Amino acid sequence: MPSRDYIPRNWDAFAVWMANFTAQLPTLAAKYGISAAVLTQTTKDNEWVQYWVDAKNAAKLQTRQVNDYVDDVANGNINGQTENDPTWALPAGAADAVPNGVKKRAREVVAGMKAQKTIYTQADGELINVVTAEEANLGEEHFTPELKLRPLANFAVECEFRKQGLNAIKVEFRHKGGNWQLAAFLQTSPGVFNITSTQPDNAEQIEVRAVYFENNANYGNYSAIYPVSIAP
């Protein structure tokens, strides 16, 4: 679905967008007068994006492994299993460095295409995923967040989502049989929020939903309801 901004802010989504943009742009180059130098730079930019988004994800995973390792060794049983030291390294095959402004360079290419109003078509925009919600005439009813939840320690929950160019999402939760309560407003993904448990010494399953939040008001539809377990 087109968003308010065609370039995703979520890094994984941006990597997917950039890969498609790079793959499809050559098919439009002749029509819009996009130079070989621009195509070459876009390819280098994409290689850089793919490597460093992968590196960000690897670093995030390694950070969790390091934290788990320190917690297990510091707080574990004296006669418990000995933990292996965690590894810490960037992925192999680093991409060549590129100048600052990867996203701005992509926007300049798109702006140049859209400025050619006599030949630019929405179909071309869809091919490289640069059609905005405004261009597609999508109203508020088309915006529904999708969440990816992961339980953390101390009754916390990590939430990944796409902002679709909007300001934030409003996250709500409810205990079993309870009423919906505000959990958090999240402006960046992933975000983390904490829940006050009704069972402070035990795990508990709750339900979570979210809605986009724009100009101090709900925007669009509530998401599906997601069950998630919280624990000490």
Burial class (CB in 10 A: 0-12, 13-18, 19+), 61: exposed
* Contact call for residues 184 and 117 (beta carbons, < 8 A): no
- What's the CA angle centered on 182, arms 140 and 200, to 5 degrees? 145
Question: Residue 154 and residue 138: Cα distance in Å, rounded?
Answer: 40
The string of pLDDT tens digits covering residues 42-63 is: 999 999 999 999 999 999 889 8
Interval 75-85 mean pLDDT: 77
Lowest mean per-residue pLDDT among 18-22, 32-36, 129-133, 167-171: 129-133
Average model confidence (pLDDT) across the chain: 90
pLDDT, tens digit, 9 for 90 and up, residues 186-204: 998 899 999 988 888 888 9
3-state secondary structure of 68: helix
Read off the tokens for 3.
Answer: 């968003």
Q: What is the spatial distance between Cα 76 and Cα 69, in angstroms, rounded to a whole number?
A: 10
Please give the pLDDT value at position 88: 82
Chain centroid to CA 151: how far? 17
Tens of pLDDT, residues 148-157: 999 998 899 9
